[in-house]
Amino acid sequence: LLLAPQVRLVMKAHSFIRENVPRVLSSAKDKSGTVHIPRISQYLYFLFAPTLIYRDNYPRNPMIRWGYVATKFAQVLGSLFYAYYIFVRLCIPQFHNSSQETFSLRGLVLCIFNSILPGVLILFLVFFAFLHCWLNAFAEMLRFADRMFYK
């Protein structure tokens, strides 16, 4: 749970350094008095923007569509509740029944195989909730206009 944000920050720091160090080094070689260093506001925007590629400026929407943001957050909540429902109804009973029986390899394998489909469905719901809904909601709140950035 803590590793994902740390990996994201390391990747963003790498992108920031990779984009800015060559500019600083080239201006130091030219011995020109002006060195373009990004402002703190540009770096903070990059930290929260749903992209891993640093640019000084990103395309921005003129306004925030708050209805779209509310819809995306509602989809996140709906996905989490649905994942909880699947977990409680399909996964927990499998392992609850196995805890009352004596241990056998056959019973363990059956529990695991009976939990594969619900587990994959929960995985898809979590990916949909985070990668689609959560990141699009924050992109809209930050007025990040380039939703097809990686194409």
What are the structure tokens assigned to 102, written together? 């004596």
Distance from C-alpha of 146 to C-alpha of 43, rounded to nearest angstrom: 17
Q: What is the pLDDT of residues 27-84, one digit of tens each?
A: 777 776 677 788 899 999 999 888 888 988 888 889 999 999 999 999 999 999 999 9
> Phi, psi (5° rounding) for residue 124?
-60, -40
Q: Which amino acid is at 63?
A: M
Show Cβ contacts of residue 12 under 8 Å, excluding neighbours closer than 6 positions: 46, 47, 52, 54
Residue 144 pairs in a beta bridge with 60
Quote the pLDDT of residue 110.
Answer: 83
Output the average pLDDT for the chain.
Answer: 86
Q: Indicate whether 106 pLDDT > 90.
A: no
